[in-house]
Structure 1
Amino acid sequence: MKKFMLVLGVLALAGCLPQDDPPGPKSIPAKKAACEAAGGTYAPGGIFSPEYICFTENPDAGKSCRKATDCTDTCLADTRTCNKVSPMFGCYSYLDEKGKKVEICVD
């Protein structure tokens, strides 16, 4: 009976093993290459995050805007222009879809 329980326990734990290798250092060169091929910059994201992400320039960067829908990403409230790079980190003010100023902090 003890052997049966041991085998049953081992089989149950075997089901907890991951199917694929988790993303790690091996996947970084491929992600960086894909990002750069798309015209992006592969760099650490946020202030407290060690994760690397792909930053891309928005096609309407610097364009004048009055509300969120005027930009592909974010209409910055202080300059009333579309933001240059996505994603954005830090604290900033943007204009929502009604043109109302909203403040946010993102990391």
Structure 2
Amino acid sequence: MRAVFIIAALGLALAGCKQLDDLSGADQSAQLPLVGQEKQDVEKFNCLAKGGSWAQYQGGYFCQHRTSDGGKICRSGSDCEGVCLARSRSCAPVKPLQGCNDILTEAGFPMNACVN
């Protein structure tokens, strides 16, 4: 709960900085994009605000969302919001699915897909 409060406060602080820049008449094209920890904090805040979870994979972080049809039986990739898992023939519970997984293509053929 404390982490969510800190992230929300960070988002509000960043929004306040942008408003101050707007009021000062600073040239918007001269602003540099966020990088490093600042960029990651904003991405995490946006992810959590949209109902996602901030997940770690191989030393990096990414936004992951639960699928509405996780566990549902499927025969091809088009049957699922995310991917159709080949071994269980069920829709993946989250998207994106990280690592290498056996999935079913849109046509229903098995293949190995790797997302890192």
Cα distance in 2 for residues equivalent to 1:81 and 1:100: 14
Q: 1:67 and 2:79 equivalent?
A: no
Scaled by the length of structure 1, what TM-score is found?
0.70
Larger Rg, first or second structure (1 or 2): 1
After the TM superposition, which segments of 4 or more aligned residues of structure 1 sit over 3 Å from their partners?
none
Which of 23, 29, 45 aligns to 1:33? It is 45
Pairs aligned (count): 87
SS in 1 for 2:46: helix
Return the structure number with greater helix share: 2
Q: 2:80 is matched by which residue type in structure 1?
A: C
Scaled by the length of structure 2, what TM-score is found?
0.66
Which of 85, 97, 100 aligns to 1:91? It is 100
Which of 51, 55, 66 aligns to 1:43? It is 55
Q: 1:76 and 2:85 equivalent?
A: yes
Q: 1:23 and 2:35 equivalent?
A: yes
Q: Deviations over 1:36-95 (max 9, x none)?
A: 1211111223x2xx3321011011111110011100110001001100111112221111
Q: 1:100 is matched by which residue type in structure 2?
A: F
- Name the Cα RMSD after superposition: 1.8
Q: 1:66 is matched by which residue type in structure 2?
A: R
Q: Deviations over 1:4-25 (max 9, x none)?
A: xxxxxxxxxxxxxx96144221
- Structure ranking higher on relative contact order (CA contacts 8 Å, 6+ apart): 1
1:28: how far off? Answer: 2.4
Q: Which runs of 5+ in 1 are unaligned?
A: 1-17
